[in-house]
Structure 1
Amino acid sequence: MGESKRPIIHVRRWLGDEEFRELLEIADYLGRSPSSGSLFAINPSKIIEKGYDEEYVGEVVKKASPGISEKELEEIIGYVREKISGSHPKAILRSQGSRLVIEPRGFLGSYIEDIRGLLRYDRSGKVFVTYPAYYVKVKEHLISRGVRVEDRTGFSMDRYLPIKPSVSVKLREYQEEAISAWVANNYRGIVSLPTGSGKTVVGVAAVARKPVWVLVVAYTREQMLQWRDHFIRMASIRPEHVGLYYSDEKRIAPITIATYQTAFRHIDKLYPYFPMVIIDEVHHLPADKFRAIALGMFSPYRLGLSATVTREDGRHEELFPLMGGVVYHKSPQELIEAGYLSPYRIEVVKVDLTPEEKKKFEELRKKYRELSRGMEFEDLLKAAKSGDPMAVEALKVRSELRQLIHNAKRKLEKVKEIVSREKEKGSKILIFTQYIDQAEEIGKELKAPVVTGETEKKIRERNFQLFREGLERVLVLTTVGDEGIDIPDANVGIIVAGTGSKRQFIQRLGRLLRPKEGKEAVLYEIVTRGTPEEFESRRRREALEDNSI
């Protein structure tokens, strides 16, 4: 086709520098005549190379030549559409911070139709952007559609460990099954096993099965240190090949372990190194900021571990596309029946409010009903967030009401009674509460060590060690004890205060289920009679009948 057959754009006004550059990206400048103004000939090669579509070309032409007729504009758009439809485009993949950038060299239009939902078009840079998590999916899709892909990301799916790990312990049957299910799902997926069943062992075995650089994300500092010790002790990994990325110690190594908070804050530094990511306590991942970890890592190989995948807010469903779905699940009861966890019983112990507490309870309940105006709790929260003063006050009263119930004086008396009885049997006892003040009061009354979120690191470690070694037989915990603590031989738990959360209940019960010859675990729930705590107790115990948790 000769140059004369290319559509000509007549521009009868002076163009600014930016407008002139925009036109030169889609056309060739032919010169200027007194009668026709500046002349530009559409250049299909430029348009294809830049990856522009006919819609964009039309916008540039109309902006440069506002007086162009609809017929002329349609002819230009049709010409461009015809030229770009028969070309085979190219795409350059780059990583920029925690973004994956797709730079088109040619019109990608129909080539990206099936993955358009993953991409966002950046008009200023004239590129498509997405999360590194979709790197493999985007690249494989483009190649399958015939797009020539130039990968400049530097991502390596086959960045192997310096030495192949070998697990020194014999895996249990269900652990082998879990690994096999994960491998069969292309080294992706969530393994849901009860607390005490050896999820960390499954994680270490997964790395032995797929020995590539791996980032392990743990929920607490204690869990992070447990992971490090497991790799060194169980898989013959040399200490210099395991790096902790936490606090002042931030070392990237073939096996790097970080907490959720640190990984979230430093995802832009961590994301390019690791073909595999293991997320412990993966039910936390759907939280808005922690999602950035899963989306920001390019890692094609992913393993999520949790005792309680299901979230009561329903957001666990967001885990499936991020991690690969639940590939294996065993309930506590299944592993108890198989002899891998200790049998247990639950005893609900009810106490009454004192007369003074009962009076206060009735006053607060009446006040709450007046302020809440019959609203459901979720609606009350929304109203408070919208600035409704009565809703805000209702929430304050509700909090005061819950603390009154949970801190009932007769609960402490009952705790002392149960502890005295169980200590005579030689039991090791964990006491769970929600409140720091209550935990410290119980610890003072029982002369027992206490661990809360405010406990200094050295004191926390000392208290855990004293309990593990049996030098202390009672340990008082707030919610810091719900997850990620390695206490192998506790056999009695006392819930003094909790929530209606099934997940929290399962986690607390799981602290007691690690097997030991002749062991039967006992979980006491101390509940205030005639209050909403009775409903909460029934609700969380429903978790034991729900094998999906």
Structure 2
Amino acid sequence: MTTNQPGLRSLSLADRYRSDKEDVVATFYRPSFTVATRYSRAVGYFTSTSLALFARGIEAFSARGGVMRLVASPHFNEDDLIDIERGYDVRAVVERATLRELDSEQRETVLDGLGLVGRLVAEGALDIKLAFVQQDDWIGIYHEKIGIFRDDDGDLVAFTGSSNETFGGLVANFESIEVYRGWEAVDGRRALRLEEDFEALWSDKTTRLSVVPFPEVARDRLISLGNERGERTLPPRDDALRPPVVVTDGPARLAVPSNITVRGYQRDAVEAWLRQQGRGMLKMATGTGKTKTALIAATQLANVLRQREQPLVLLVLAPLQHLVDQWITEVEEFGVRPVAVYESSQKWLPVVEDQLNEARLGQRPVVVIVATNASYIGDKFQSVLSRITQPLLVVADEAHNLGSSTYRAALPQNATYRLALSATPERWFDEDGTDALIDYFGPIAFELGLGKAIEMGALTRYLYMPRLVELNAIETSLYSDLTTEIAKRITAGDDLKAADPSSPLGFLLRQRAGVLGHAEGKLAALRADLARRSDAWFQLVYCAEGRRPTEAGQPPGPNQLRDAMHLVGNELHLAAHSYISETARAERKVLLRRFGSGTDLQVLVAMRCLDEGVDIPDARTGYLLASSSNPRQFIQRRGRLLRRAEGKDRAEIFDYLAVPPAGAPLNFEVERNLLIRELERANEFAKLSENYETTLEVLRPLKERYQLMDM
């Protein structure tokens, strides 16, 4: 039925609108809203601020009885995606994400807009659904952008293009849309096809997409907010879709959180790095706050660049996914939501591209990307890196890992600023890799050793208790055979001090370390030490990898981790849980939270984990059943225990050193040289402990036996 009111056909609509030629809002959106009665819109993102802007766009439209349907993609964070992949109910996760987004914005103008949205929803003028890509093993972002206007005459205008319906999408960005008028022969077919696409979307009949109603609890929250805001209306504006400046998604900037006190040595480290023109390494003891120091440096750099009207692209490289997660938490405290780059590129690539485009156009002062080493060397991410022309800062966490030929070859040469973080930047038995890292990042700009860190109170004091455990008869036999083979390799010219881990000598040394690490007597010693601390919390046990070595032809021996768990949980009845590389990320977070509560888990039993970067400052007692002679590993493990925490004034480290019994048939000189490597670790632990004299007495018999009293 035709009305007397002008409709869409009365408008002089172009078939294309582009930011270089016209104001898309003034020439297309606003005129269409003045005559249309139904509006269907599918866009990429749902945020609290963009939803408030929708209210501005349809306020006058709804006052004339107009009705709008909106489909947008929920903003999932990494925890949401993990929960979905682990089988959690998708609708429950969508509800959680939606409520989190609604609660994230407390500005008055945005709350006013959300209140109006609530009233429109309550009145039936606005209906919202959420869409996302759902495959068997991953969740993706719904990124399509289409819109349909209808009027009371039945005329149709459909459009598609690059803009989101936000201030940034419609006004600030450079955008374009293609428009199809339903009454035109060629346009009509395309307009109807877009409308059919939307209707299929709205009805959840689109392959690969899941479209769910706006969560009821979030809907109630909006309506409640509408009631709370009463009849307050948004200030009248000529341009309904252009919000006041205060309403827009203000570009996030890095800022040092108010609850952080920048320590003197952190300030010194940042200044030293800046004096080297933003290049170099920070060699700081584990637990002294390298992550925060790096972010303070990035904040300082971003402030300088902002004065030059330049953005900063910050790329953080971390060896493992759980370290990426920790960095994301830290960066968010500095005021910026970073993009996590690991797993499927479909999760992160569109977001990275969007943010880099905004930085290129001057609309985003800081882009922060946190990637695993494995993801950053991938072709897709390397392609993104190669196209960055803005100032780029690369921060490498545990930078020694990047010294391999594969990783260092992929380091971006277009990075103006470079910062390497590591307590031990020198690579073990790899001078070439160490030199390559120094060539790329620059020399050490600042160094803070463990002794100095303890002295100034950045790390806690500790007691070191070495425990000498004798090998049993079978272990001694295995150990003796391996020592004989090692002696042959040395006689043949192999260098013990520079043995490549992948060489024949390196293999024999690993076998020997396996016998020592899995020594059966260590469990009895551990039992005695744990039993004396059965009421204590915050205890870590580090186990040897693999299984106990056995004689040729015999099946592998028991797994030390399993034996330790049985000892701790079943025999001593302590609340304990394993923490291994196969433990899922989401479960790791839960375990660390339970451990840190001081009321749930007393002991974490670890294998191949709890080394690099894991932040567990509450840990007070560590039991090292096995630790390699690689200095990096035992320095990392000691660092886990020396982080400061409330109520923690001292840590305890038990180190179980397996030794052959006196009189064992061994090549004395070879065994002496091998033992030097073991005692170097013990000396490193002991010299900075509070009970150095006691440790000397414990180790004295062994040093006397092998004529090592000068160590």
Normalised to the residue count of structure 1, the TM-score between the two structures is 0.63
Could you report, residue by residue, the CA deviation over 1:272-291 in whole angstroms, capped at 9, with x for unpaired residues?
A: 33611111111222111110
Note if contact 1:367-1:397 (Cα within 8 Å) is conserved in structure 2: yes
Structure 1: state its 5+ residue gaps.
Answer: 1-160, 386-391
1:343 paired residue number:
461
SS of equivalent to 2:370 = strand
Is 1:287–2:416 an aligned residue pair?
Answer: no
Aligned-partner Cα distance in 1 for 2:385–2:618: 36
How many angstroms does 1:384 deviate by? 8.4
1:528-547 equivalent positions in 2, closer than 5 A: 528-530=658-660, 534-541=675-682, 543=684
Which whole-Å CA distance do the structure 2 matches of 1:182 and 1:511 have between them?
26
Query: Is it true that 1:495 corresponds to 2:608 in the alignment?
Result: no
**Partner AA of 1:282 in structure 2:** A
Q: Judge conservation of contact 1:224–1:257 (CA < 8 Å) in 2.
A: yes
Q: Supply the distance in 2 between the matched residues of 1:177 and 1:380 (Cα, whole angstroms).
A: 36
Question: How does 1:389-428 map onto structure 2 within 5 Å?
Answer: 398-424=509-535, 426-428=536-538
Q: Which residue of 1 aligns with 2:343?
A: 247
> What is the Cα deviation at residue 418 of structure 1?
1.4
Q: Which of the residues 197, 202, 213 maps onto 2:313? A: 213
Contact 1:308–1:503 (Cα < 8 Å) also in 2? yes
**For 2:466, what is the secondary structure of its paired residue?**
strand
| TM superposition shift of 1:194 | 1.2
1:309 aligns with 2:425: yes
Q: Deviations over 1:478-505 (max 9, x none)?
A: 2322102010110111111111122211
Aligned length: 374
Supply the AA of the counterpart residue of 1:538.
Answer: L
Matched, 1:171 2:262: yes
Post-superposition Cα deviations, 1:161-211, rounded to whole Å, max 9, x if no partner, equal: 943321112211111111111111111111111111111111211221112
Partner of 1:277: 394
SS in 2 for 1:329: strand
Distance 1:306 1:366, change over 3 A: closer
| Distance of 1:343 and 1:384 partners within structure 2 | 37
Q: How does 1:92-241 map to 2 (within 5 A)?
A: 162-168=251-257, 169-211=260-302, 212-233=312-333, 235-237=334-336, 239=337
Q: Percent identity?
A: 24
Cα separation, partners in 2 of 1:186 and 1:431, compared to 1, 3 Å: same
Asked if the contact 2:294/2:395 (under 8 Å) is kept, the reply is yes
1:307-386 alignment, distance < 5 Å? 307-313=423-429, 314=431, 315-370=433-488, 373-376=491-494
CA distance in 2, matches of 1:165, 1:399: 46
1:164 to 1:267, Cα distance in 2 relative to 1, 3 A: same
Q: Per the alignment, do residues 544 and 316 of structure 1 end up closer, same or farther by CA in structure 2, a change over 3 Å counting?
A: farther
Q: Residue 534 and residue 423 in structure 1: after superposition, are their counterparts in 2 closer, same or farther (change >3 A)? A: farther
CA distance in 2, matches of 1:264, 1:383: 24
1:460 aligns with 2:588: yes
The secondary structure found in structure 2 opposite 1:178 is: helix
Structure 2 spans left out of the alignment, 5+ residues: 1-249, 303-311, 356-366, 547-558, 570-575, 662-670, 689-711
Residues 618 and 648 in structure 2, CA contact (< 8 A), matched pair in contact too: no
Q: Deviations over 1:50-79 (max 9, x none)?
A: xxxxxxxxxxxxxxxxxxxxxxxxxxxxxx
CA contact (8 A) 1:245 1:256 kept: yes
Once residues 271 and 534 of structure 2 are traced to their aligned partners in structure 1, the CA distance between those partners, rounded to angstroms, is 43
Q: Which moved more, 1:376-385 or 1:258-267?
A: 376-385
Q: TM-score, normalised by structure 2?
A: 0.49
Task: Give yes or no for contact 2:620–2:650 (8 Å, CA) kept in 1.
Answer: yes
- Conserved 8 A contact 2:538-2:621: yes
Seen in structure 2, the aligned counterparts of structure 1 residues 289 and 396 have a Cα distance that, compared at 3 Å, is closer
Partners of 1:383 and 1:434 lie apart in 2 by 17
Instruction: Compute the displacement of 1:432 (Å).
Output: 1.7
Deviation at 1:415, TM superposition (A): 1.4
Residues 178/378 of structure 1: CA separation in 2 closer, same or farther (3 Å cut): same
| SS of aligned partner of 2:427 | coil
Q: Aligned to 1:171, what secondary structure does the other structure show?
A: coil
Local SS of the residue matching 2:564: helix
Q: What residue identity is the alignment partner of 1:269?
A: V
> How much has 1:439 moved relative to structure 2?
2.2
Deviation at 1:397, TM superposition (A): 5.2
Q: CA deviation at 1:467?
A: 1.6
Give, in whole Å, the separation in 1 of the partners of 2:437 and 2:421: 11
Change (3 A) 1:188 1:162: farther
Q: 1:521 aligns with which of 637, 644, 651?
A: 651
Match of 2:358 in 1: none
Deviation at 1:227, TM superposition (A): 1.0
* RMSD between aligned residues: 2.8
Alignment-mate amino acid for residue 194 of structure 1: A
**Displacement of 1:463 after TM fit?**
2.6
Matched, 1:258 2:388: no
> What's the counterpart of residue 431 of structure 1?
541
Residue aligned with 1:255, SS = strand
Distance 2:622 2:506 in 1: 30
**Amino acid across the alignment from 1:481:** L
When structure 1 is superposed on structure 2, of 195-204 and 314-323 the one drifting more is: 314-323
Other-structure match for 1:6:
none
The one-letter code sitting in structure 2 at the alignment partner of 1:412 is L
